[in-house]
Chains A and B, each alone.
Chain A
């Protein structure tokens, strides 16, 4: 075994082993610390993939330019969220919303989920990827319902049912891809291996691929949260523990998106198949516009940002749908920035909701006065997510809009309309929450600000300066995406 395949193994082994240990250990301080350590270990292992030579793609595992971006992002946000989670959960234990027993379950599930997501990224087998995505989904279902309140269970149930249908559709799509590949590649394992498929995709049957892509787009798109498949997303975000909301928005959506992208590449490699672009553009725009309108009537702060995630997923899918080096680059950048920003926002929102004892927007006011760090943190986050400079999302939106306008002016106008709508809604809420006459508790927040500010610092840096190697990398990936 080479060092490289070791690193890949570590990325998968650390979470799964940690999950086993965490399921057995009592005491929340210890488990929280262990959770952080395990997440850090996974992150470091993933980071090492950057440095050392990559392993040859095998039957099951693969590390290439595309997924390494996702893995590193995934493990990083996983790590910061575990830090946030430690302080968040401590508060939940104090207030008695969670019992230590559930906590053990929570930490174990956290690591299983990380395992599932990492596996989805590194798998070279479309079947394995499907399994991994489903593991990640099902664990989050369990975590969403962890509070055992009526609303939480309802949300989890909705998530579960809609997710299951999504699972089924994605599987059907996967089978269809296998069927398309079999006459060319031959029976058995090989016809599901990604590296083999992509090499010979041009000779696959286009009709099968077309139908397959629609099913895959629907199956995985349910998890991306594209409208009208989004229904589970807002409730799951709003009712679960906030670290899970952060992970859902920041990571799980990316996992599903990654799967969609993989199949998009596959489809694009076949000249006779329909081009996936228009389909993705349509769904992206629909999601963007729909979510933008939905933002206006939100009264729950977490559900607000959940809809904002739908909106941004719409933008990202739109960008990838437009294709071309510039839009793909922008889409990738947007995805990374959205993950960092949105999870950062959820860190802030988690503490805010704890301090104020409510998630109702109407009951939270004047945060910059009572809790300057949280209030300004949230303000920076919302400003970032709304696409204002000098933060990273501005750059990606700039590239998406300007590159689209030159090619499809009408689409760009619609896009801009959606962006402006969403901007208006977000700023309306921010104005109420961060400013004005303070309302609600003014007790000092017992919060860990590090994860939040670390994320925002990264986003700020990226908005002004992207390191050269990273850019080259992204550009390369953008070219791969076609």
Chain B
């Protein structure tokens, strides 16, 4: 069976059918198992087909359904780019479904989750498959809508309602920006089909405008700073497996949209576009991770970290744009592959981490890290999986996060080849930002894992936590294994991505499968190479060697004793380092500028029985400088115009009269 678009569309149809089923079986207690079981199977099938498409280097297939825009129909197309993102989407979907099989049984209002979950999956699949502007936008917004419904699943909490609202408005803003972009692309009789848009010529000014609109549209969905504000609100508000999908997968769909339009439909829009994307990406990465570091809600921390990773992806896409604009095909392919690799990686470890956070949430009912701690004893399996996720996302070898980060750096190091001075200088500078982001990410996840899982329990719920169910664990360990495999066998992934790069950039990275020892060599062996497998083997060997020798020839005795408390015996768990105090040094370094953080110390004089207090005053400048004034302006005008609701009839008549006379005057003068 040749993998084709029709099979993918059938899978989507099956997902939509599952939605109907979930609506019909609203209150049945079996519905959780049935729905997640169905989505698991469907996602796996769709994933397998997409993967076989990539592996087989199959030709793109298209189909037209007589729905959608009447004279156009709904076009669907499966090409290499779509297949890759379908694989990401469906693998994430399958993992989330598997997790949902266990996690879903704890859901208090399953009828608010079950119908929308398959719909959300279907929406993401459809966006990737769509091959005309109308279908694309329809599916895009449908995806937003379904995920919004999922965010509103726990609607009784006021925060969630606000999160849902902000999310939906930002999503709509993004869609409208995309709508304008497509309006521009399809203008002058080009039409809405992607094939037509692709073949039409696009003027440079138009290309710049489309790029700006895409940055607004896809960027707001993906979480580019300063359009990211909805993301840390909405992602954590949803049930955890949905958070995983939103963070791990939906942001990738947004990136897909950006790639599809900017790289595929528009053609390379000049090197200055590359700078814009690059700088935005770098800034997003650093800002995102700094926000994450300041956060003590574990799911929000993960959401902010998503922003960082999106920044990394955009930065390398910007590199690809810059290289491509200068005809450096191989370098562009390297940067592009790095971006896609990071897309894949992030979908793995971010889903994994959200699953872990969800497990903590089910087991303790707590998202606030300051109330957790010591879970490594109570939830050993979850904590190990979470640790793998943390190591992977911190870009540490031999896991997958490092490989994509490494590829991005290799691409950065190709910057001398670029002819433009602006790029020559900006690229290493952004490289420095990315390195900073990576280092901060490591700090952030030391905090996330350390405060949540290590130390002693900070609250009774944390002390009484227990391990989660097998389905959830299976989902986590599956993803952890993928993180590991992609880390030690990156060559396979790069070769798998080759058809995508070939299709979009026109070049591909060298074949990696032929390199000895499964190394990856992006350009030439003398330049750089990396071998995750060997590094892993070396570390394991070295560690085992050390363990063996020490335990064999030296001591293996162990004695348990109380921890050293500077002379204080058994201090309370509250005396531990908290999340906020962990972040304090970094807050001092970066926070004064970026968050306008101020510390106020209230130190009572000796003899005063008051407790000493330290309060930290932090500001989210993006909210305060951008969104709050906007909101205020809207309400100001709304207030002003609202006076018009309370006029007397005479005044209304005067309004009519004045307008009439004005128009007559215009007519008298004009014609």
Contacts and interface: CB of A to CB of B under 8 A. Distances in A.
Interface string B654-669: 0110011001100100
A214 B645 CA distance: 25
Binding site of A, secondary structure by majority: helix, strand, loop or mixed? helix
Interface string B188-205: 100010000000000000
Contacts of A407: 187
Binding site of B, secondary structure by majority: helix, strand, loop or mixed? helix
Given A398-B179, A436-B158, A162 B69 contact: no
A188 interface: no
Nearest to B139: A389
Interface in A202-232: 206-207, 210-211, 214, 218, 222, 228-229, 231
Interface string A387-419: 011100011011101111111010011001001
Nearest to B655: A228
Contact of A431 (B66, B142, B161, B647): B161
A452 B667 CA distance: 45
Contact of B179 (A390, A401, A468): A401
Contacts of A427: 165, 168-169
B138 interface: yes
A158 interface: yes
Contacts of B656: 162, 165, 218, 222, 228-229
B649 A294 contact: no
A428 B165 contact: yes
Nearest to A402: B183
Interface in B134-150: 134, 137-139, 141-142, 144-145
B638 interface: yes
Contacts of B634: 293, 296, 421, 424
Contacts of A401: 176, 179-180, 183
A296 B633 CA distance: 12
Contacts of B179: 397-398, 401-402, 405, 416
A436 B161 contact: yes
A243 interface: no
A388 B141 contact: yes
Nearest to B659: A228
Interface in A300-353: none
B182 interface: yes
A294 B647 CA distance: 14
B652 A162 contact: yes
A147 interface: no
A51 interface: no
Interface in B300-320: none
A214 B183 contact: no
B649 A468 contact: no
A225 to B, nearest CB: 13
A423 interface: yes
Contacts of A234: 645
B142 A389 contact: yes
B186 A420 contact: no
A207 B671 contact: yes
B529 interface: no
A446 B38 CA distance: 36
Interface string B628-657: 000000110111011011010100110110
A380 to B, nearest CB: 10
Contacts of B152: 431, 435
Contacts of B139: 389
B323 to A, nearest CB: 31
Given A165-B656, A214-B664, A228-B655, A435 B155 contact: yes
B145 A435 contact: no
Contact of A471 (B70, B133, B641): B70
Contacts of B169: 420, 423-424, 427
A427 B663 CA distance: 35
A33 B180 CA distance: 49
B145 A383 contact: yes
A261 to B, nearest CB: 19
B67 interface: yes
A1 interface: no
B553 interface: no
Contact of B664 (A211, A424, A436): A211
A229 B638 contact: no
A115 interface: no
B660 A214 contact: yes
B182 A294 contact: no
B663 A279 contact: yes
14 contacts: A157-B649, A162-B656, A214-B660, A214-B664, A231-B652, A231-B655, A293-B638, A398-B179, A416-B180, A420-B173, A424-B634, A427-B169, A431-B161, A471-B71
Given A210-B667, A366-B155, A468-B66, 5 more contacts: A165-B656, A222-B656, A402-B183, A405-B183, A465-B68
Interface of B: 66-71, 133-134, 137-139, 141-142, 144-145, 152, 155-156, 158, 161-162, 164-165, 168-169, 172-173, 176, 179-180, 182-184, 186-188, 192, 634-635, 637-639, 641-642, 644-645, 647, 649, 652-653, 655-656, 659-660, 663-664, 667, 670-671
Q: Which 10 A-B pairs have the closest CB atoms?
A: A406-B187, A405-B183, A402-B183, A435-B155, A296-B638, A471-B70, A231-B652, A389-B138, A297-B642, A465-B67
